[in-house]
Homo-oligomer: A and B are copies of this chain.
Amino acid sequence: MNIILASTSTLFGGEYLEYLKEELIQLYAGIDEIVFIPFARPGGISYDEYTAKASSFFEKIGIKVKGLHEFNDKAEALNNAKGFFTGGGNTFLLVKTLHEENLMSVLKTNVECGKPYLGCSAGSNIGGQNMKTTNDMPIVYPPSFECMGLVPFNINPHYLDPNPELKHNGETRETRIKEFLTQNDLKVVGLREGNWIRRKGDEITVEGAELTRIFEKDKVPYEIEPGTEL
């Protein structure tokens, strides 16, 4: 497999996907067209608008982008595609749409065959075993929470450390992930913004500038350095 699962598409103060540019040139080496999956619709943006946004970045590195919504036969479009990018937004909307159109398993099969895959945020969540560690609001009811399982763990994108100054009793991210571990025995990778997971064949590492926080059942959470194998 040849995969990047990124915490976020955009660093604070940066341009869309800019911080990943060199990585993406390598990920998509030899490929001049990819299929974009716009179903997460951040802020309710239209599929066309979202595809145009992805396109405006990818034209800088010589890659044409086609939105998956543009095809009548979407399964065939995935089978014919050379590579994929799933954008962020609402994970519930993304997973609902992929399951209802029977595309989750088609996408999984194509990525497992070695076609390059980039996910950001919600698009990274669907690379995990299931979507039970998303941060998103459950604005729609998906027929299942199961995802592609391109990596043998779950991802928590936009991982955010507790803010000791916040006078608020909502749960911290760490509390939420620990609640997940009371109900599930599965490793969770708390991916801070600026970090990404890189899978090349069977090698899976975490990359980027920040430490990454790992949560496992009945263990104290711990931090790993960029470059560490997962």
Contacts and interface: CB of A to CB of B under 8 A. Distances in A.
A220 interface: no
Contacts of A160: 168, 170
Interface residues of A, number: 46
A181 B93 CA distance: 13
Contacts of A184: 139
A144 interface: yes
Contacts of A139: 132-133, 176, 179-180, 182-184
B176 A137 contact: yes
A168 B90 CA distance: 17
A11 B169 contact: yes
B178 A168 contact: no
A158 interface: yes
Nearest to A167: B12
B140 A132 contact: yes
A41 interface: yes
A183 B140 contact: yes
A193 interface: yes
Contacts of A201: none
Interface in A115-172: 131-141, 144-145, 157-158, 160, 167-171
B138 A134 contact: yes
A68 interface: no
A17 to B, nearest CB: 12
A86 interface: no
A93 B193 CA distance: 28
A184 B92 CA distance: 14
A13 B166 CA distance: 11
Given A13-B167, A43-B182, A139-B179, 18 more contacts: A8-B169, A8-B170, A12-B168, A43-B175, A44-B178, A44-B181, A44-B182, A90-B179, A132-B139, A132-B141, A133-B139, A134-B138, A137-B176, A137-B180, A138-B138, A139-B180, A139-B182, A160-B168
